Amino acid sequence: MIRMIAVIADDLTGAAEIAGLGWRHGLTAEILQRDQMPSDVELAVFDSDSRNCPAKEAARRVSRIATRIRERKPAWIYKKVDSVLRGNVLVEIQAMQAVMGFERCLLVPANPTAQRIIRNGKYFVQGKPINQTDFRNDPSHPRHSADIKELLGASGDYSVTLRQLKASDLPYGVIVGETTTATDVRHWGQRVNTQTLPAGGADLFAALLQSHGLRSQESRSMVTKTVAGRTLFVSGSMAQSSVSFLHECNTRKWPVLLMPDELFAGRGSARTHQATWSLRIVDALKRHPKVVTGIGKPQRPGRREGLRLGTTLTATIRRVLAKMRVDRVCVEGGATAALLLEQLGWTRLVVDCEFATGVTGVRPQSQKDVLLVLKPGSYAWPDCLCSEATTGR
């Protein structure tokens, strides 16, 4: 067995994406909430759940996890950040550097495989500046600029340098590598050394796995055949892909049971309305193999309101799972997924399969019959989960 690789991610879907990549490359992988001690695995991915925290709290959480990691003396470590730089990116990098003693951080957030690139100091998504895409409407971290330093919130407190591929030097501080192709990502991966903290998205992590001699395993190919059984889709996002998915589900005439107006507005007894809503979802699952639920309306800005709605949604899902067996629960959005784990009391997850990059199937160690499928809100659900055929995996 190889020495443990350790990763800190700032949300659950990002952690699942990295764990899925490791699993695909033949590693035993688990996802841990906060600073739990990892078990005897080859890849331990910690979810600090800190993307939407105040900066000081995010730094505290990451420092605690980094201290726990340092005690295990991993083979190497990685800081997973949001590919479009939402959250406390620089604060968390600085916290890891302070604990681990890295002189610099090489930050490569771009994912060319998802058409997310950095060119001439600007971030582009599918050919458009990021501030001209749906990311400009993100309820917690709206992207109002395409400038990398502005997206990072770089100030005098942080030394942030942009470097192109031809750059010969990597200075101290945080270096953002400009990246437009998969070849560029591999190039930056080769620049990482023992004094450099690698940080970024899924593409850089995959490149680092390969640079350490790991390759995708044929026995762990992605699930592409239609899956059978009851599937409950949970939408905690209002990203354009989520809105489009809800519209598609209505077109397919799947039961779509969104949060009742009374719960959304906070009127009346929340427990009574949750009980009624959960019974409607259970009844729909008895009649149809695929059911969709979620918040369904644009949220008012503010962390407190998002937390209230997310908690209401996930508490209802907990009621549903207590009433009947569901083969898989497909959750989009890291904040929603983390709240659901909290409701269920699940703190340690193991990777079971991958449906696509960023769409990872996991199970709690304590419960083997429920598959939790996680993905970021901006990703699409793959066809194998949405097909209405009843063939096996």
Is the Cβ–Cβ distance between 4 and 44 less than 8 Å?
yes
| pLDDT at residue 36, rounded to an integer | 81
- Enter the DSSP assignment of 370: -
Q: How far apart are CA 358 and CA 166, in angstroms?
A: 30
**What integer pLDDT is reported at residue 390 of this predicted model?**
43
Q: Tell me how far apart the alpha carbons of residues 349 and 267 are, in angstroms, rounded to a whole number.
A: 35
* Spatial CB neighbours of 2, under 8 Å, sequence gap ≥ 6: 27, 42, 75
Tell me the Ramachandran region of residue 360: left when phi exceeds 0, alpha when psi lies from -120 to 50, beta otherwise. beta
C-alpha to C-alpha distance for 205 and 210, rounded to whole angstroms: 9
The alpha helices in 227-292, defined as continuous H runs, are: 240-251, 261-265, 270-287
**All CATH 3.40.50.10840 domain ranges in the chain, comma separated:** 5-218
DSSP 114: G
Per-residue pLDDT of the chain (393 residues; tens, 9 = 90+): 568 999 999 999 999 999 999 999 999 999 998 778 888 899 999 999 999 899 999 999 999 999 999 999 999 999 999 999 999 999 999 999 999 999 999 999 999 999 999 999 999 999 999 999 989 988 789 999 999 999 999 877 778 999 998 888 888 999 999 999 999 999 999 999 999 999 999 999 999 999 999 999 988 988 988 888 999 999 876 666 777 888 899 999 999 999 999 999 888 888 999 999 999 999 999 999 999 999 887 666 556 788 888 999 999 999 999 999 999 999 998 889 999 999 998 989 999 999 999 999 999 876 677 899 999 888 889 999 998 754 333
Q: What is the pLDDT of residue 256?
A: 95
| Residue ranges, CATH 3.40.980.20, the chain | 231-386
Q: What is the pLDDT at residue 2?
A: 67
Helices (H), 190-260: 202-211, 240-251
Q: Of all helices (H) and strands (E), which one includes residue 353? A: strand 348-356
What CATH class is the domain 5-218?
alpha beta
- Quick one: which of 124, 139, 109 has its CA closest to 201? 109
Q: 52 and 87 in contact (C-beta within 8 Å)?
A: yes
In CATH terms, the fold of domain 231-386 is: Molybdenum Cofactor Biosythetic Enzyme; Chain A (3.40.980)
H or E segment at 306?
helix 303-323
